Amino acid sequence: MSGRNDTDQAFRGIEHAVHPEAFDAVKADEFPHRDSLNQIDRRSLLKFAGATAVLSGVTAGCRIQPPLSIVPLVDGQPGTVTGVDKHFASTATMGGYGFGVLVRQYEGRPVKIEGNPKHPSSLGSIDPKTLAEIAVLYDPDRAQFPTKQGDPGSWEEFFRNARARLADGGVALLTPNVSSPTLAALIEEFLQASPGAKWYQYEAVNDDNALEGAILAFGRAIAVSYDFSKADVVLSLDSDFLGTGPGAVRHSRDFATRRQADAHGSDMCRLYVVECAPTPTGVVADHRFRAKPSQIMGVAKAVAAGLGVPGSAASASSAVGGSALRALVEDLRGSAGRSIVIAGQHQPPAVHALCHAINAHLGNLGSAVKTTEPVLAKPVSNTADIMSLAAAMDQGKVKSLFILGGNPVYDAPADAKFAERLSKVPFSAHLSLHHDETSAECLWSLPAAHFLESWGDARAIDGTVSPVQPLVEPLYGDALSPLELVERLLGRARSGLEAVKEQWARTTGATGWAFDDLWKTALADGLLKGTESKEVDAQPVPGLAGGLKDTQGGGIELVVLPDPNIHDGRYANVGWLQELPKPVTNLTWDNAAHMSPETAKRLGVGQPQKALGIVPFTGWADTVKVSAQGYEIELPVYVHMGMADDTVVVHMGYGRTRAGQIGTKGDPADHGGGFDVNPFRTSLAPSIIPNAQVAKSRLGAYPLANTQYHNMLDVTVVDSDRHLIREATVAEFEEHHEHAFEGAHHGEKKPGEPDYSGRSIYQRPDKFYSKDNYQWAMTIDLGLCTGCNACVTACQAENNIPVVGKFQVMKGREMHWIRIDRYYRPRKGQAFDEKDPAISFQPLTCMQCELAPCEPVCPVAATVHSHEGINQMVYNRCVGTRYCSNNCPYKVRRFNFLHFTRKAEDVPVLKLLQNPDVTVRGRGVMEKCTYCVQRINHARIEAKKENRLIRDGEVVTACEQACPSRAIVFGSISDPESRVSKSRASKRNYILLEETLTRPRTSYLGRVYNPNPEALA
Amino acid sequence: MAQLFSPGFNTICTVSLFVGAVAPFAILYTGSVITNSPANTKVDVPLEQPIPFSHRHHANELGIDCRFCHTSVEESANAGVPSTDVCMTCHSQIWTNSPNLEAVRQSWEKGTPIQWAKVNDVPDFVYFNHSIHIDRGVSCNNCHGKVNEMHLTWKGNSFRMAWCLECHENPQKFLYADTSGKGLTPREQVFDLYRKIAAGEKLNAVEERLAEGLPQFAPDDKVHKGLKVINERGINVSQLKDCYVCHH
């Protein structure tokens, strides 16, 4: 245990940091479920053993193959080749903004959503939520036919009634934010056709603050976008620009171009983050400061005053002060014109406006910060809109209300009293993918078509018009897209395709062949070229900085944020996203009240010592009662190191009552579903709520399924200087070069350190890995990883990885082939501080060891090595002894304890979700990352047919393809010129648990970060 | 006390001992014979089809190329089973009243697909790809049996893993270089064989074996030739045996 007091020790969580010895004892336990093992007596054991033997004899082996049939097409389409997949460009939308995707289609059904390399919002990468849209398409709980007050109805009846109503006036239309030019034009036409009709837009996660901030700063609605590839210094004021929002994927890519340590060295950009709770952006920051949400304005003012922004005056106190503030200000001043100051989505408009003033003062506008015409068709404050709709409903002015998407009954601000006022509307209809809370309160519930089933368009974050192209006919024949619904309300019957084409023909002015050409190019590319929003020369209102109010704060501040996975609740019924460990916290299936260790201690909750005994598998958490704005709820506590004190963060989207089989709140031990925090949100304080009352609750413990203590690497035998996470500052990297990542001793052997140069007990002749074959390998750049989870979901979609449910996750049985480990470490040169530790991410997947410890222990040779260096897992040989998993030092093997894929086999629509190139595994089978061997095989076959070698970059694993910051590189090391060969040659390259001599093919590039020496002083 | 066992029991005991020793093996052997027999594997058992389609008639007697119907065999994992319109290419003109073709006409008129009984099947965890086998010059009949001689189609081989490995371990036994001097690629060679058969051209010994779906005889010089073919075509034999080539 030599490393215990070493300053470089990495901790998996607060329990580990506070009680390392007890933690080691828990970790060393071979049978974490020993309690239940002890309960079995000898007789029962024999009974079970006998029953197992008999049942295995009955169920295994002999089966008579049922007769199968081949059903070819009747009229074969030219160009269709069965068994070959195709990709089509389309556009997903989030918050109104379009996100360009390529959808893989196999024999007429979409099977996976990938990024569109040509599209400015994606550049080929993707985020977990967009990836999971495919699971929304195939959700068995989708609304399938129109219902009137719960009874099946028909579209004919609906339109008959609706058109009669339209003549009466008092028509209101409520939509999510709309950027689609076609839908906006149609709505405009609708408003003109029905006099007095009003259009409202509302989404719970919206850009209100940014919009109002821009109006405050520039005097009108202007879209502000950021180009992180041009920024030398970035200051984020509570903004998680790498993790949330429609621009996150593009931001990550741009930011990563400035974090290439090998190429740039000291040219790297520098990121300062001031935030209330650790986000992916905070984790990758060079300097991270904690501040309560209300204190952010103080920091902004202090920075503005330091820079001499006209009219600015520093507040009495700033959460960031002293040398750090001076260094930050100097840094910004030194990079004038090449820096970005960005405010968080939930920060009030004044903070946004002040950021604009600072950017303008520094001359960043027009370079790293772009001001353009708005992207949304009619940018409005969503909160103001929903409030005026609610008021109109209350006054009885709304006679018929058409809600096209969204779920306002669930997520409207509490003071809108939406459900209550909706009941005063005589005719209401809700077009939705699910029969949800809002549908239940409306007269009519109408099934919506998914974006993969309908034509449409949307504008990307930079304004580029992008077509929404269907990949499949609506699965449920009655579904309509919002476009088609408005079209029919207008009494016409154009299809979505016709509507979009006519709109585009009108706006582009192209006709005939020219239009056909333009249309086909746009569909193939997934975008209409040259339609970016026009840049405008905007200057802030003079003297702006002076008149900005401080954020109202005080007491314990409650922050309601969108959930990183299920967003505003729209993805609550997607098992992939529910089970996806949230960035930084690794929580699944629930939301919780996040608070700092200090705050938790003061409230007498979340004591690590109490949780430790059972934390690795069940994670029971204390509960607190949170009351604010006249609402109270009891929530489990998640103690979050690195959070600002007196701040409680909760995520919205949970506690759904009508989401579907997965999303609807259920039994806490079995199902989760979390807690509804929307009633805390009011129109005046939609996300930051001061003076919340938080007290320990008498409810007792609540089970939280947290994956942080699952699959732990056994580092207790490892000397601390060979730690798992290797980091160096730019200065250290430049000074020590290759030694910077060999640990604290720079490659020198410590006295008494064992000699690891001996031969492994696992042996295989080196000639087995002949350079005549491809030799696959991967590098993961820890300097670029933002822990965004795109790789995890991409792997899940590509490799048919089942969702196991909260109860099984609590037993440590989640099936993800790639996971993102989180470690807490002391800040450079300081002792470990649980208030503000350094945080690191480490994506971990099968390392494909050349000398794999899992292989010799398999009694049935179900895991063996390929000549291309891949550790093969043969499902149909596996008998489920789990020896391999036990012997794996990286703990990357996953076992199907139960028949987790049963639903994929039994529910017809879920069969369509499975990737046809990957076996769907059944119970009792071990599985793990295969380096996406199906993609390797596909590329190999195509290359052989063309009589050539596989080109570098031709095989892209699903995780590599999804990664927004391009942290993962895959290829063959037989080719010395391949990207992965070059990447492995980096001085930052290191091997995880190298002393085990497993010779993994996956290696890591140590993180180089760029702190300001002045700020550390 | 009377004797319990008569002298005859000696014989019974001896016989029982031997039978007891042999019985387990006999049972296992019987089991294996049954599972390997066509009763279980369906090898050589023609299947009932909605239309009594004859490969022998179409491929051999009429000389229609395999790829006329199995269009995707060179580019996809699936060889492709023809859609009804492919049948109707000819049968809208000839045999338009044949009762055998009633199901085809019904399908075409009503737009309902023909449901063929599947003859050849591999388990779902096996990812077989036709195109690469054709590209490397593996002849159709090597796997499917003498299809060009079949009236109703049957399964030519068991498609068990041990059978696949016969070639994946020793591809030289199943590959040969064309000696006609026409400079055929391995892919063209596959289909040229069936053209020759249909045209009644004389086959050499190797071609005759391949048309039968059998490996070449393997005297040393022939194996040597096979190995030469493997080198020429850059076939990586060690990698062919990797599990992940077929299972992912």
Asked whether residue A169 carries a pLDDT value surpassing 90, the answer given is: no
What pLDDT, on the 0 to 100 scale, is given for residue A700? 77
Domain at A79-207+375-494+529-538: CATH code: 3.40.50.740
Give per-residue pLDDT as tens, A835-878. 889 999 999 999 999 889 999 999 999 999 999 999 999 999 99
Asked whether residue A3 carries a pLDDT value surpassing 70, the answer given is: no
Lowest mean pLDDT across A68-72, A101-105, A537-541, A741-745: A741-745
Our measurement of the distance from residue A179's CA atom to the centroid of its chain's CA atoms, rounded to an integer in Å, reads 23
Q: Which of A65, A75, A946 to mutate to test the interface with B (most CBs of B within 10 A)?
A: A75
Phi-psi region of B236 (alpha: psi -120 to 50; beta: other; left: phi over 0): beta
Q: Which of A81, A800, A911, A917 to mutate to test the interface with B (most CBs of B within 10 A)?
A: A81
**Chain A residue whose CA is closest to B80:** A82
User: How do beta strands A556-561 and A688-696 pair?
Assistant: antiparallel
Of A142 and A834, the one with more pLDDT:
A142
What pLDDT, on the 0 to 100 scale, is given for residue A34? 53
What pLDDT, on the 0 to 100 scale, is given for residue B15? 94
Confidence of residue B205 (pLDDT cuts 50, 70, 90): confident
Residues A254 and A248: their CA atoms lie apart, in Å, by: 10
Highest mean pLDDT: which range of A265-269, A394-398, B204-208: A394-398
Residues A7 and A721: their CA atoms lie apart, in Å, by: 10
Give per-residue pLDDT as tens, A285-305. 999 999 999 999 999 989 998
A61 vs B: CB within 8 A: no
- The answer for residues whose C-beta is within 8 angstroms of residue B117's C-beta and 6 or more apart is A67, A68, A69, A70, B47, B48, B49, B50
User: CB B244 to CB A84 under 8 A?
Assistant: no
CB A72 within 8 A of CB A434: no
Asked whether residue A1015 carries a pLDDT value surpassing 50, the answer given is: yes
Residues A923 and A900: their CA atoms lie apart, in Å, by: 7
CB A685 within 8 A of CB A551: no
The CATH number for A556-706, chosen from 2.40.40.20, 2.40.50.1070, 2.40.30.110, 3.50.50.60, is: 2.40.40.20
- Selection from A990, A985, A995, A1016 nearest residue A1005 by Cα: A990
Q: Which of B121, B125, B232, B243 to mutate to test the interface with A (most CBs of A within 10 A)?
A: B243
Phi-psi region of A640 (alpha: psi -120 to 50; beta: other; left: phi over 0): beta
Nearest beta carbon to residue A872 from set B124, B125, B244: B244
Residues A794 and A960: their CA atoms lie apart, in Å, by: 9
Asked whether residue A53 carries a pLDDT value surpassing 90, the answer given is: no
Asked whether residue A1002 carries a pLDDT value surpassing 90, the answer given is: yes
Residues B130 and A218: their CA atoms lie apart, in Å, by: 64
Asked whether residue A146 carries a pLDDT value surpassing 80, the answer given is: yes
CB A559 within 8 A of CB A276: yes
- Selection from B76, B177, B82, B85 nearest residue B130 by Cα: B76
User: CB A937 to CB B244 under 8 A?
Assistant: yes
A939 vs B: CB within 8 A: no
User: CB B108 to CB A83 under 8 A?
Assistant: no
Kindly report the number of other CB atoms within 10 A of residue A277's CB atom. Answer: 23
Lowest mean pLDDT across A243-252, A745-754, B15-24, B205-214: A745-754
Give per-residue pLDDT as tens, A108-129. 899 999 999 999 999 999 999 9
- In angstroms, the first-to-last Cα distance of chain A is 32
**Chain A residue whose CA is closest to B79:** A82
What pLDDT, on the 0 to 100 scale, is given for residue A810? 83
Q: What phi and psi values does residue A715 have, to the nearest 5 degrees?
A: -100, 5
Q: Which CATH architecture has domain A14-25+711-747+757-1014?
A: 2-Layer Sandwich (3.30)
Give pTM, 2 decimals: 0.90
Give per-residue pLDDT as tens, A483-512. 999 999 998 888 999 999 999 999 998 888
Q: Contacts of residue B114 in chain A, CB cutoff 8 Å?
A: 71-72
Of B2 and A534, the one with more pLDDT:
A534
- Selection from A257, A251, A258, A269 nearest residue A462 by Cα: A251
In percent, the amount of chain A with pLDDT more than 70 equals 91
CB A288 within 8 A of CB A307: no
The two structure tokens encoding residue A529:
């070229």
Lowest mean pLDDT across A60-64, A255-259, A350-354, B134-138: A60-64
Amino acid at A681: R
What is the ipTM metric for this complex?
Answer: 0.89
The two structure tokens encoding residue B126:
């096996």
Of A831 and A1002, the one with more pLDDT:
A1002
Round the CA-based radius of gyration of chain A to a whole number and report it. Answer: 28
Strands of A227-325 (E only): list them: 233-237, 270-275, 287-290
Give the start-to-end residue ranges of the domains of chain B: 55-81+117-245, 82-115
The two structure tokens encoding residue A262:
């090998």
A65 vs B: CB within 8 A: yes
Residues A9 and A715: their CA atoms lie apart, in Å, by: 10
CB A913 within 8 A of CB A880: no
**Chain A residue whose CA is closest to B109:** A74
Q: Contacts of residue B115 in chain A, CB cutoff 8 Å?
A: 69-71
Asked whether residue A760 carries a pLDDT value surpassing 50, the answer given is: yes
Q: Contacts of residue A773 in chain B, CB cutoff 8 Å?
A: 236, 238-239
The CATH number for A223-372, chosen from 3.40.228.10, 1.10.10.60, 3.10.20.30, 3.40.50.970, is: 3.40.228.10
CB A848 within 8 A of CB A1002: yes
Cα dist. A66→A245, B118, B127 in Å?
50, 11, 20
Confidence of residue A38 (pLDDT cuts 50, 70, 90): low
CB A450 within 8 A of CB A136: yes
Name the minimum distance, in Å, from the CA of B218 to any CA of chain A.
27
Q: Contacts of residue A867 in chain B, CB cutoff 8 Å?
A: 236, 238-239, 242
Count CA atoms closer than 13 A to A344's CA, side-chain side: 30
State the average pLDDT for chain A: 87
Give the start-to-end residue ranges of the domains of chain A: 14-25+711-747+757-1014, 79-207+375-494+529-538, 223-372, 556-706
Asked whether residue A78 carries a pLDDT value surpassing 80, the answer given is: no
Residues A999 and A985: their CA atoms lie apart, in Å, by: 15
Q: Please compute the mean of the pLDDT values over residues A699-707 and round it to a whole number.
A: 83
Residue whose entry in the numeric block shows the structure tokens 């075509």: B233
What pLDDT, on the 0 to 100 scale, is given for residue A759? 59
Give per-residue pLDDT as tens, A425-461. 999 999 999 999 999 999 999 999 999 999 999 999 9
CB A731 within 8 A of CB A1013: yes
Asked whether residue A33 carries a pLDDT value surpassing 60, the answer given is: no
Kindly report the number of other CB atoms within 10 A of residue A862's CB atom. Answer: 22
CB A619 within 8 A of CB A587: no
Residues constituting chain B: 248
Q: Contacts of residue B85 in chain A, CB cutoff 8 Å?
A: 74-76
Of A471 and B224, the one with more pLDDT:
A471
**Chain A residue whose CA is closest to B137:** A945
